[in-house]
Amino acid sequence: MDAVAPTLHKALGLGEAPHWEVNAAEQMIIPYQMDGLYVVTMASHYGENPAVLWDEPTLIRAMRELNTLVKWPQLDYLFLDSPPSSSKFMQELYDCLSDLYGIVLVFQPSDIAVADLVRTIDFIRIKRAPVIGLVSNMAICISPKGERFWPYLSPRVDIGSVCEEHGIPLLGEVPLTPLQATVDVVFDKIADRIKNTKPKVLTDDLATRLCKAIARRALEAVIRRLE
């Protein structure tokens, strides 16, 4: 559901976005099938290169149509990939999902990304949408020789404590690395945790969160003094 910069086909290793096939009799869009996955991406509709300059009402209408015009087969799960945003588009998206099982947040542990994360968590809380947990993406860099380092200028944030503060399980930390086997192990663990975690609606209010944050900072100050 990345409405203006869809790249799902790239993530799936497809050279170009597959064409949308349509069912003329039922006037519906047929998902592209690959290895048991059924895929629909807006890149098929726009083409690969053009900038998408649709206004928000047009995007919202397209999203609503996509929700009803795709002829999905019997599915075990439907995954929706969406950007972290509290735009009108995202508000409408949450409003039109009637049977959302849970949200997996994927964020980089840098201070800029975490600022977005906190806003996204607040948005999800307001929408009372169930959360499964958070995946820390590009959490650390691992070189081909196995050296671990933080590769960005932006300061690293302890995303575990952010999760703890907001009552969200940390599902795993995906490293930035060319070592496929290392990533595979992490992905397997994340998949297991997703399967075994019951989604929960975040109900904590702003006042409670502020109190928790103040209490944590006070504790940190006491520890610093003791040191």
With a CB cutoff of 8 Å and minimum separation 6, the contacts of 218 are none
Q: How far apart are CA 128 and CA 32, in angstroms?
A: 32
Count, residues in the chain: 227
Among 5, 7, 37, 54, binds another protein (CB under 8 A): 54
Among 55, 76, 99, 227, binds another protein (CB under 8 A): 55
Q: Is 79 in the site for another protein (CB under 8 A)?
A: no
Q: Is 227 in the site for another protein (CB under 8 A)?
A: no
Among 22, 75, 126, 221, binds another protein (CB under 8 A): 22
Q: Is 38 in the site for another protein (CB under 8 A)?
A: no
CB-based burial of residue 123 (10 Å sphere; 0-12 exposed, 13-18 middle, 19+ buried)?
middle
Among 7, 33, 58, 208, binds another protein (CB under 8 A): 58
Per CB under 8 A, the segment of 10-18, 63-71, 116-124, 212-220 that binds another protein is 63-71
* Residue whose pair of structure tokens reads 């009402």 in the numeric block: 57
Instruction: Tell me the number of residues near another protein by CB under 8 A.
Output: 24
Q: Is 14 in the site for another protein (CB under 8 A)?
A: no
Q: Residue 197's CB: how many other CB atoms inside 10 A?
A: 15
Q: Is 123 in the site for another protein (CB under 8 A)?
A: no
Among 50, 73, 144, 146, binds another protein (CB under 8 A): 50
Among 34, 61, 128, 219, binds another protein (CB under 8 A): 61
**β-strand pairing of 37-39 with 32-34:** antiparallel
Distance, CA of 211 to chain centre: 28
Among 5, 7, 47, 101, binds another protein (CB under 8 A): 47
Per CB under 8 A, the segment of 64-72, 79-87, 182-190, 191-199 that binds another protein is 64-72
Among 11, 13, 15, 27, binds another protein (CB under 8 A): 27
CB-based burial of residue 90 (10 Å sphere; 0-12 exposed, 13-18 middle, 19+ buried)?
buried
Helix 111-127 vs helix 159-166: angle between axes, to the nearest 10 degrees? 20
Q: What are the C-alpha distances in Å from 179 to residues 141, 142, 215? A: 10, 8, 41
Which C-beta is closer to another protein: that of 23 or that of 154? 23
Q: Is 88 in the site for another protein (CB under 8 A)?
A: no
